[in-house]
Amino acid sequence: MRFTVALSHVLPQHTLSALVRAATRWRWRPWKNWLIQHFVRSYAVDLSEAENPDPTQYAHFDAFFTRALRPGARPLDADPRSLLCPADGRISQAGAIRDGRIVQAKGRDYSLAELLGDGAAAQRYAQGSFVNVYLSPRDYHRVHMPCAGRLVETLHIPGRLFSVAPTAVAGVDRLFARNERLVCHFDGVHGPFVVVMVGALLVSGISTVWAGTVVPPYARAPQRLRPSGPQLAAGAEMARFHMGSTVIIVLPAGAATLRVGLVAELAVRMGERLGTLSSQDN
């Protein structure tokens, strides 16, 4: 593991990711069909869940990777106060934010202010809670709203592109606060919340439903946008990862009670309940 972590520091991360982006969008049929079919076999992808289950019908590998699911494949928890899981994957960490710091892995934590790229914005979440969901290559790669909310602003923060696989998370200090990411601030009925889309090695892009492709280009300086924010329903699609990565939900104190048992490596699916939102009066 130490060798892998050390190697990740010296790899040309952005160059490799740009090459992957080109390779996964090449439309030459023999190439894209071989790549998709090899991927399906290697990761045991369940194509029966896909809106289009025929792997040869996708224009290129990225279209397959960001594929839609058939209606009903991910039913939303029926409780209107549910905090919904935003993506398929595994829990990396979840729990309380203590004095503005988030647990990354055993023995490692990082600053919420650094993750959000804004110390003032971080103050309202300093004693709140978070859920970090890791999307592996085999997972469904569209990200959905954990609860209803109106987009207030986004902040695209430049950074590294370390792998976000469990071995890297355990070995790279402050990984999520160092990687390139898109920080999305929302206002909801139950209060403000943040959804952070974290880039990673070989992740060739992040797109949103309100702005299209956001990454690349890779940021050279923080880029803050205040769009005339769309209102998105709980469970609505908000973004896509073009290759796998991590999504982090950040909530203020008292906004929600996380369900018991959200431990590292727990498999989760989009739409299931991660916790219960507090009443509007609170």
Domain range summary for the chain, segments of one domain joined by +: 2-65, 82-277
SS3 236: coil
DSSP 265: T
Number of neighbours of residue 280 by Cβ within 10 angstroms = 10
Active site includes 144? yes
Mean local confidence (pLDDT), 195-209: 86
Range with the largest mean pLDDT of 27-36, 162-171, 271-280: 27-36
Of 31, 60, 63, nearest to 50 (Cα)? 63
Mean local confidence (pLDDT), 175-199: 94
Place of tokens 């592109």: 161
pTM across the whole model: 0.91
pLDDT at residue 6 tops 80: no
pLDDT at residue 205 tops 90: no
| pLDDT score for 7 | 53
| Res. 1 pLDDT band, cuts 50 70 90 | very low
- Catalytic annotation, pick one of 141, 144, 156, 242: 144
Which residues have C-beta within 8 Å of that of residue 58, sequence separation ≥ 6? 32, 36, 52, 64, 67
Mean local confidence (pLDDT), 150-167: 90
More confident residue, 144 or 159: 144
- Catalytic annotation, pick one of 8, 17, 82, 88: 88
Interatomic CA distance for residues 53 and 70, integer angstroms? 9
| pLDDT score for 215 | 83
Active site includes 111? no
pLDDT at residue 282 tops 50: no
Mean local confidence (pLDDT), 255-263: 95
- Catalytic annotation, pick one of 8, 163, 204, 245: 245
| pLDDT score for 219 | 76
Active site includes 245? yes
Mean local confidence (pLDDT), 204-225: 86
CB 268 within 8 A of CB 249: no
